[in-house]
Structure 1
Amino acid sequence: MVGEDPAEAASRLGTNTTILASGHADIAVQAYTGRLVIRADSGGKVTEHDLARTIIAVPSRTLQEVPAGGQYGFLRGSSREHRGQVYLLAQAVLGKHVHGEIDPHIWHSVPNMKAAAQVMRDALAEADPPGTSLYTANTERVMRELDELDWEIRSIYASLPEASKNLITTHDGYRYLASTYGLSVAGFVTPVAGSEPSIQQRQRLQRTIRDLRVPAIFLDRNTRMRSPVLREVAHENGVQVGTLYSDSLDDEAPHYADMMRANAHTIQRAVGR
């Protein structure tokens, strides 16, 4: 709710309306019902709220001037009242990737995507019974392709030395990758725009590299230009630097399978020495 008193909006919706004015919240899908809900962190606990009866209040104090520069042009919008301004909601914990108890990066595990394909097949068949045979055939084809992809990248990760399977990344989004393919996330340092890792973070990173003999640090392709300190730490400790796909594709990896293969080969080149 932007530019309006959330209490007034709640009165129009009636009783049992929830107003979220602080903390961290995600829109999620209940796996057992397929229903969209809001999961909000509060006091270390995760509470689910009905999407249709929840108001997320955006306070006026979050209205900020858009920085100069063409790269920020998409934020300026066309509203005459707020041209050159944007409502900026700070992440709940700076430098930390916050997802409550749910890690949304399910695509880094091929078995997860096989499960997702089956869920989509069933949902489409329920919504369009005449198309069931088509959805079933397409899903069978996708499952074969995913099985081949899974076998291929499992072979790559299995070839890595056991002592070199500890990952340090700049994005806390590879836990499904690690758990599925026998890797370990030894640590992560998330770059924050306009802020460098603290001395404590830098020391912790150096200690992790030294103690676990980590051979490489992996940067997120989307934030690699914001990671000069991490590159410095890698250089100081004589370790490789690689870049991984996290949640986007590009011309070099235009499809899901390309992304998964690219990440596997990047990790293999960096740590499989």
Structure 2
Amino acid sequence: MINTWIKSVGFGVAFGIWALGSAQAKPLEVVSSFSILADMVQQVGGDKVVSTAIIGPESDAHSFEPRPSDAKTLQKADLVLINGAHFEAWLPRLVQSAGYQGKVVEAIEGIPLRAYEEEHEPGHDHHDAHDHHGHDHGEYDPHAWQSLAHAQVYVKNIAEALIEVDPENSVYYSQRAKDYTQAIQQLHQRFVEDFARIPDQNRTVVTSHDAFGYFGQAYDIEFLSLLGASNQAEPSAKELAGLIDYMRDNHVKALFMENISSPKLLEQIARETHAKIGKPLYSDALAKAPHAASTYLGMMQWNGEALLEALEP
């Protein structure tokens, strides 16, 4: 079902804009900071761009350290796209190392950011939470791509950036962005309807780290994170006990690990609370093809379907 829907959308977008394409001797070299953004660039840029991700599929952005090969990649770029909101703390070092002097565009520009509120989550100490988030991402959640509504702003910013660098193909980029935005909006509307059917008592889940707050805002789902904003820290015994007690008291039945996280802690919690571990969710990185979550739209549909499967009565 997932693959069929995504393939049909992809074919419709490609066919609808095929007639607008024109020969281009040299496609734009567009470098994006991570795989999700690179796929969005590819969907908007089509055959007019070569879209490259510095942090590839199934890779953890939280532990990433630039390599010499990344500097070489940046040196060839006509345009660099990043998320912004302190998601790429390593970027200034890489830009300096590469000597890149071209345009750097923040795809998150214009999106109202969600303030981290880990201090309100069960088992978390206010002081520890503040220090943890400040160390990792700052005070605001950078994972705005987890909202399909916000993703439409990403697409707009990407299209504008491509048009600024390559104005001759502005009609091409604009049409692709329009078609892609329509596909994103269709999936969003479907999720609005599907998640509206979830009973109030089933609207809480536990995930590895705090990456799904924007998804939760969109569809009224409460996400409790085990590791806060990072996959690198370990929760204290007090935090872990607090979360387990909260899950028992509130009958939280669903746990989700992520494709970039270790399952050990969630497996421990599942044993103690008898909660069910759902399918892996994709947070900061796409799956490797040919997985259904190897594109942004595929990833969002995979995550939504996995959550609905666990939460529906």
For Structure 1 versus Structure 2, the TM-score category normalised by the shorter chain is 0.5 to 0.7
RMSD: 3.6
* Structure-1 separation of matches of 2:260 and 2:144: 18
Maintained 8 Å contact 1:156/1:265: no
Letter in structure 2 aligned against 1:269: E
- Report if the CA contact (8 A) 2:208-2:231 is conserved: no
Residue 95 of structure 1 contacts residue 192 of structure 1 at CA under 8 Å; is this kept in 2?
no
Deviation at 1:110, TM superposition (A): 0.8
Match of residue 111 from structure 1: 149
8 Å Cα contact 1:167/1:186 also seen in 2: yes
Cα deviations across residues 82-123 of structure 1 (Å, max 9, x unaligned)? xxxxxxxxxx96799821123221111111111111112222
- Is 1:241 aligned to residue 281 of structure 2? no
TM-score, length of structure 1 as denominator length: 0.60
The answer on 1:141 being equivalent to 2:213 is: no
CA apart distance, 1:174? 0.7
Unmatched tracts of structure 1, length 5 or more: 1-33, 41-50, 57-91
Identity of aligned residues (%): 25
AA aligned to 2:202 is: S
- CA distance in 2 between counterparts of 1:249 and 1:110 reads 15
- Deviation of 1:131 after TM superposition, in Å, equals 1.6
| 192 and 183 in structure 1: CA distance in 2 versus 1, 3 angstrom threshold | closer
Alpha-carbon distance change, 186 to 254 in structure 1, aligned in 2, over 3 angstroms: closer
* 1:210 partnered with 2:284: no
Structure 1 CA distance for aligned equivalents of residues 273 and 239 of structure 2: 15
More strand by share: 1
Q: Is the 8 A contact 2:133 2:139 kept in 1?
A: no
Select the structure that is richer in helix.
2
TM-score, structure 2 normalization: 0.53
State the SS of the aligned residue for 2:140. coil
- In 1, Cα distance between equivalents of 2:161 and 2:135: 31
Number of residue pairs matched by the alignment: 193
- Counterpart secondary structure, 1:249: coil
Distance 1:268 1:97, change over 3 A: farther
Partner residue in 2 for 1:120: 158
* 3-state SS of 2:284 partner: coil
| Deviation (angstroms), 1:239 | 0.9
Q: Is the 8 A contact 2:152 2:181 kept in 1?
A: yes
Cα distance in 2, alignment partners of residues 248 and 55 from structure 1: 25
CA contact (8 A) 1:97 1:172 kept: no
Instruction: State the one-letter code of the partner of 2:195.
Output: Y
Q: For residues 49-87 of structure 1, what are the alpha-carbon distances to aligned partners after superposition, in whole Å with 9 as ceiling and x for unaligned?
A: xx69x999xxxxxxxxxxxxxxxxxxxxxxxxxxxxxxx
Work out which of the residue numbers 200, 221, 227 in structure 1 matches 2:263.
227
> Equivalents in 2 of 1:133, 1:166: separation in Å?
44
**Structure 2: runs of 5 or more not aligned:** 1-79, 87-91, 98-129
